[in-house]
A and B are shown apart, each in its own frame.
Chain A
Amino acid sequence: MSKVVVNNLKYRYPLTENLAINGLTFEIEQGELIGIIGRNGAGKSTLCAALTGLVPHFFKGAYGGSVHIDGINVKESKLSYISREVGIVFQNPFTQMTGAKETVKEELAFGLENLGVPKLEMLRRIEDALNLLEIDHLRDKNPLELSGGQMQRVAIASILVMHPGLLVLDEPTSQLDPQGTAEVFRAIKKLSNQGMTIIMVEHKIEEIAEYADRVMFLDNGKIVAFDTPTNVFSMNHLEEHGLRPPVFTRVCKGLGIRDLSGLYPVTLSEAVNEVQKFNESD
């Protein structure tokens, strides 16, 4: 069975007229890293909220279709129960800190205290998360006094300790500087390599091309394409849906560098190889 099964999902926020999500059907397998892209208002964040149960439990409104995570129907389950299966990390690292804990390790313990995890198990999970996200040296610091990149990694760690089977990240790097962004991407890559299923909304298209196994391209609450980065970014008319493909793809499109099935390079290393061949050919 697939990790995530979404069937004809529709949703409209209260007091609005248009569907934010309009008939999404897709499946995601265990261990995949999925990038969700599309212009503002396309439905990306709403989809994240629906995968984590914030829609329809936190945001009311009109809901149709279904979301199943590991066989659990999100609509039928309580938020506190879903939070064990699905973790979510938001844009703003600051508002994700509880604001009630004085050290990073206490911050990480918060979710575990709520779940009633025994003390020894708690310590073990906190140690693992501190190591995995390379924030061990911050354990006794006040979480609100960290840099953006550090704070965002604490936010991810505080979700990971709850051992979710699925991690949803809604623009986790949009408020970070280049170094903070690189730190967070490195952490995400590491988690993915360890087999975690990850769904990530991200505007940084070159990074999506580099890291994602598959890309879901949304516009107007609908799926325009859901395929490998190569297949999605090689499509024509992306600009009509408000999307600029990675700069490497744009360069290769400009030079007419594509393979026999009409696909373009999407990452730096692919582009380097292909442009080199192009320069040497005649």
Chain B
Amino acid sequence: MNLIDVQNLHFSYPEGIELLKGIDLAFDHRSTAIIGQNGAGKTTFVKLLKGLLKPVSGDILINGVNTKEISVAKLAAHIGLVFQNPGDQIFKSSVYDEVIFGPHNIGIPEDEADESTKKALIEVGLENKVNDNPYDLSFSERKLISIASILAMNTQIVLLDEPTIAQDDYGKQLIQGLVRKLEGEGRLVISILHDMDFVAETFTRTLVFQNGKVTMDNDTKSVFSQTEAVRRAYLEPPHVTQLGNRLGYTETYLTAEQFVKDSLRKREEFKQ
């Protein structure tokens, strides 16, 4: 069974223009990036998955359960969402209390909640700041707290809204490690992103949103191999992909390592 099924999804606010215009998607455990211009409907889509908004028509099934038939609070045990701005969710005066808030709410027993909270804080590298006040930490650290507070709930599905904003290379590598680890555990990560290099290096599948529709849906490499279509969605291919394109390579590259490896191999072949 798919983790998420989206069937003929339409959405608009009352008296507003239609923001999502008929989306059909199925999600298995492959990590998935959602890219597209601001206003393309990405955040609206993620809020619908999370049950914060309900479809105007069509259905969303999370593990077979229709989001229309379950409260957001109950759904929270199955699907977590990290908001774009950590200020929107942090309200406890210690990092630990903030992170354990979710596990408590969904009824995880105390010792188990404590364990998963500590584990989540280690995973985001904040194990030394357990008792700090979140507002004494930097913006990028608060963002990591908000990620930990979702990880600690051990949901099968994790949604991220622009997790890499304000992160430096260290933070990005950390988040990349988390996405891969969750994917390895068979858990689904769906993330909205503007950083194409990060998408290329991290995600298995990529969706392009444009004007309330999904215009591209494929494994990440195939999506970025269609340079023209990507540009039509007002996006730029990753830098290393552009390098390959400019050199006239037919292969689509997503990482520097792969580019180097291939180039060296080809050179060896050429020499022989």
Contacts and interface: CB of A to CB of B under 8 A. Distances in A.
Question: Does a CB–CB distance below 8 Å link A and B in the complex?
Answer: yes
A279 B271 CA distance: 11
Interface string A260-282: 00000000100110011011001
Nearest to B248: A276
B171 interface: yes
Contact of A251 (B38, B138, B259): B259
A255 B37 CA distance: 35
Contacts of A272: 243, 246-247
A39 B169 contact: yes
Contacts of A147: 38-39
A244 B239 CA distance: 14
Interface string B231-245: 000111011101100
Given A41-B138, A174-B166, A271-B243, A251 B256 contact: yes
A91 B271 CA distance: 50
B263 interface: yes
Given A40-B168, A176-B194, A178-B196, A247 B240 contact: yes
Interface string B193-205: 0101100000000
A262 to B, nearest CB: 18
Given A203-B168, A251-B256, A246 B239 contact: yes
A91 B243 CA distance: 29
B140 interface: yes
A243 B235 CA distance: 25
Give the interface centre of A91, A181, A248 by most chain B CB atoms within 10 Å: A248
Nearest to A250: B256
A254 B257 contact: yes
B267 interface: yes
Nearest to A147: B38
A177 interface: yes
A246 B194 CA distance: 17
A14 to B, nearest CB: 13
Contacts of A246: 239
Interface in A93-120: none
A279 B248 CA distance: 12
B165 interface: yes
A130 to B, nearest CB: 22
Contacts of B259: 251, 254
Nearest to A179: B234
Nearest to A254: B260
A275 B263 contact: yes
Give the interface centre of A40, A148, A206, A248 by most chain B CB atoms within 10 Å: A40
Nearest to B238: A247
A179 B40 CA distance: 12
A271 B239 CA distance: 11
A178 B236 contact: yes
Interface string B247-272: 10000000011011001101100110
Interface in B47-84: none
B13 interface: no
B193 to A, nearest CB: 10
Contacts of A271: 243
Give the interface centre of A178, A250, A254, A272 by most chain B CB atoms within 10 Å: A178
A268 B39 contact: no
Contact of B194 (A171, A177, A206): A177
B239 A248 contact: yes
A246 B197 CA distance: 11
Interface in A164-184: 171, 174-182
A254 B256 contact: yes
A175 B38 CA distance: 11
B263 A40 contact: no
Interface string A15-42: 0000000000000000000000011110
A254 B243 CA distance: 14
Nearest to B36: A177
A195 interface: no
A275 B236 CA distance: 21
A61 interface: no
A247 B243 contact: yes
Interface of A: 38-41, 91, 147-149, 171, 174-182, 203, 206, 242-244, 246-248, 250-251, 254-255, 268, 271-272, 275-276, 278-279, 282
Q: Which 10 A-B pairs have the closest CB atoms?
A: A254-B260, A250-B256, A39-B168, A177-B38, A244-B169, A179-B234, A272-B246, A247-B239, A40-B168, A247-B240
5 contacts: A177-B194, A206-B239, A247-B243, A247-B256, A275-B263
Given A182-B236, A254-B259, 13 more contacts: A38-B168, A39-B168, A39-B169, A41-B138, A148-B38, A176-B38, A177-B194, A178-B235, A179-B234, A247-B239, A254-B260, A255-B263, A268-B243
Interface of B: 37-39, 138, 140, 165-171, 194, 196-197, 234-236, 238-240, 242-243, 246-247, 256-257, 259-260, 263-264, 266-267, 270-271
